[in-house]
Chains A and B, each alone.
Chain A
Amino acid sequence: MTEQTYAPGTYPDLPPPSDTVGPVHWLKANLFSSPVNSIVTLVAIYLLYLALPSAFNWLLIDATYVGETRKDCAPGGACMAFIGERFNLFVYGFYPAELRWRVNLAAILLVVAGAAVLWDKMPARKHIMKFAMIYPLIGAWLLSGGLFGLEYVGTHLFGGLMLTLTIGVTGIVFSLPLGILLALGRQSKLPIIKYFCIGFIEFIRGVPLITLLFVASTMLSYFLPPGTTFDLLLRVLIMVTLFASAYMAEVIRGGLQALPKGQLEAANSLGLNYSQAMRLIILPQALKISIPGIVNTFIGLYKDSTLVIVIGLLDPLGIGRASVADSAWLGLSTEVYLFVAVFFFISCFGMARYSLYLENKLNTGHKR
């Protein structure tokens, strides 16, 4: 038997022992590692066996995908023809059909701007970032028009997916900087700023969003001078942004407090002034720590946008609720709610995954 020798550092990795790899081992380790786990696995498989085939049949095999009224739908299966017929309503709400290209264009530009902001390997990122900075104005102009030759579209016609995205994106984009300012203001040594920020945060957090929306929609007209009309959606956007920024401030304050005091002292001893210290030392670290909380707030804000139904705006859920009342399509609430749930799941899951990606990218080894 010859003894194989290797130079230092070149010793090849040996394959793992045969009983620690392969599907059988995976099953053993993950599904049947103990008697209790084995029982749980078997019960779970049985439940899936009960639920999956019928759900599968309902959604795919017995389902009807084309039709004019409910009568065209086969009984016992999902009536997806309904969703198909109303898909445009779900996406654009009541936006005039001939102007929907504006919504599409705004969405494409949003993807471009969003990619530059969210993805640091984007080609020509520097230039697109400049565009992303002014995107909110461009988006608002495209959607509601009224300037430079675009026909005005009242915001009461906004609805469905585009309404959710409008509220979600506006809230997210504006609540983060506002939240940072509030968080810093709360730690300020200047009493007026400090107590203003504390008062604002505590007031907003102490009131349910639905109440703020209600105030925005019905009470504001009493406080404003008579005759002034203030766009309803704009009021909602302001309220949602303020609401989210109060929560954001607390999330970021948590991040700030997690930093050792030495960081700020070190920055001061290097001669950095307040804004430099914050911009270069404190916030990059604090925001990184806060990412899960920030995204959490975003997801909450996004889902809270369904509350706009109380002020007469119809988001996908509202459109869905209104749609099930169409006399030609009575009794299809399951399909509608499923569709809306899938839509929200995709959006929120996407945000959660992005947050995870960002955490991993910024991971500097402090993570436990």
Chain B
Amino acid sequence: MKLINKVLTGVALTAMTATAAQASTLEDVRAADELKCIVTTGLAGFAAPDANGRWEGFDADFCRAVAAAVLGDGDKVQFVPTTGKTRFTMLNSGEGDILFRNTTETLSRDADLKLSFLPVNFYDGQGFMVPASLGVSSATELDGASVCIQTGTTTELNLADYFRTNGISYEPVPIETNEEGFTNYVAGRCDVYTTDASGLASTRAKFDDPTQHVVLPEIISKEPLGGAVRHGDDEWFDIGKWVVNALINAEEMGVTQANAMNLAANVGNNPSINRLVGSEGNMGEMLGLDAKWAARAIAQGGNYGEIYERNVGPNTPLQIERGLNALWNKGGVLYAAPIR
């Protein structure tokens, strides 16, 4: 199966060069009047359908922000749910226009799979969770443990690296989705569950008694999660990139879901805000959009901070602290390029 997928991906990639010469993604999206956004098939806090079939979550909100900027309406999104293995093929074959699928930016994905990564919107890192009853306090004590690991992800590779570096052995239990990992872990088919710390937080929140499970202190990898687009369409890449930057800048400048459209309607005395919301300058025009693109994106689901708090923040069941994902002037590493 794996081999077949690899071959298919390979063929898709070679064929891709042929399709790259087609009409620009922006034109395609406008012609379809719908943004096809690749998301996960369901990851708590990042993308999952609610009872009415509306996709909610951190990634889903970024999709809507891009749609609001490009098409003027954040609801003109067609969500394309994908598994870890199919996500890039779907993007490269044109079944999606943009990808927000808690995806780690890596060199090989950028260069080999021919993706262009948008600015990082979530800094994550891989951790381990074990039952408290196991009495383990450090990942280095996990010699011989069986580990539930999602195939086709960077976590799989990190795990192999980490255990090799530390000279300890493990037995992998391959799984396909986060949910499957949880089920296997609960059923005791693996001693350890490893995935990104955000995923561990959401998994831990599922237990009736979360205190019976501990997240080990080791964070063994850097997992900068970000959106991505296909290689070969720089204008479309710029749009994605600056929508993400606009949302982060909006938090820094105090532009919120509530006040974005008001700020856009009047020229204020802060030129940075004016440029962001389009009451001054021609930033939108340079991107091939209109002046209010960023204002609409912010008004859709709020600035970065609002999106974070609503979906994954401390007041949600996931309870993920801002940590690295705070703004650069508040102890985090979010540092978006200025809009000027």
Contact = CB atoms under 8 A, between A and B. Distances in A.
Interface of A: 75, 85-86, 88-89, 92-95, 97, 154, 156, 159, 208, 210-211, 214-215, 217-219, 221-222, 226-227, 232, 309-312, 314, 318-319, 321-328, 330-331, 333
Contact of B48 (A215, A325, A331): A325
B49 A321 contact: no
Interface residues of B, number: 51
Interface in B298-339: 311, 316-318
Nearest to A223: B15
Contacts of A88: 51-53
Interface stretch (B88-96, B112-120, B267-275): B88-96
Contacts of A154: 78
Given A211-B4, A218-B93, A219-B8, A333 B44 contact: no
B165 interface: no
Nearest to A226: B22
Contact of B179 (A94, A159, A214, A324): A324
Given A330-B205, A333-B179, A218 B51 contact: no
25 contacts: A88-B52, A89-B51, A94-B53, A97-B52, A154-B78, A211-B8, A214-B86, A219-B8, A219-B12, A221-B94, A312-B86, A312-B90, A321-B41, A321-B179, A323-B42, A324-B179, A325-B43, A326-B48, A327-B44, A327-B318, A330-B44, A331-B182, A331-B207, A331-B208, A333-B182
Contacts of A327: 44-45, 48, 202, 205, 311, 316-318
B89 A322 contact: no
Interface string B135-150: 0000000000000000
Given A217-B90, A321-B177, A309 B41 contact: yes
Contacts, number: 131
B93 A219 contact: yes
A227 to B, nearest CB: 8
Given A89-B49, A214-B86, 20 more contacts: A89-B53, A94-B49, A94-B53, A208-B4, A210-B1, A214-B4, A218-B86, A218-B93, A219-B12, A221-B93, A221-B94, A226-B19, A322-B41, A325-B48, A326-B48, A327-B48, A327-B202, A330-B202, A330-B206, A331-B205
A310 B152 CA distance: 14
A217 B78 CA distance: 16
A164 to B, nearest CB: 16
B172 interface: no
A325 B179 contact: yes
Nearest to A313: B81
A311 B317 CA distance: 30
Given A321-B42, A326-B44, A312 B95 contact: yes
B188 to A, nearest CB: 15
B48 A214 contact: no
B48 A322 contact: yes
- Closest 4 A/B residue pairs (Cβ): A331-B206, A322-B42, A325-B42, A325-B48
Contact of A221 (B11, B19, B51): B19
Contact of B89 (A94, A156, A218, A321): A218
Contacts of A322: 41-42, 48-49, 81
Contacts of A314: 41, 81
A229 B262 CA distance: 40
A312 B1 CA distance: 18
B151 interface: no
B178 interface: yes
A94 B80 CA distance: 12
A309 B83 CA distance: 8
B34 to A, nearest CB: 8
Interface in B166-215: 177-179, 182-183, 202, 205-208
B317 A330 contact: yes
Contacts of B47: 325
Nearest to A319: B49
Contacts of A319: 49
Contacts of B183: 333
B43 to A, nearest CB: 5
A318 B41 contact: yes
Contacts of B311: 327
Contact of A85 (B51, B53, B93, B202): B51
A323 B89 contact: no
Contact of B42 (A232, A311, A324): A324
A335 to B, nearest CB: 12
A218 B95 contact: yes
Contacts of A93: 53
* Most B Cβ at <10 Å: residue of A156, A309, A330: A330
A326 B94 CA distance: 28
A20 B81 CA distance: 62
B77 to A, nearest CB: 11
A227 B182 CA distance: 42
A261 B328 CA distance: 84
Contacts of A92: 53
B7 to A, nearest CB: 9
Contact of A325 (B78, B85, B178): B178
Contacts of B18: 222
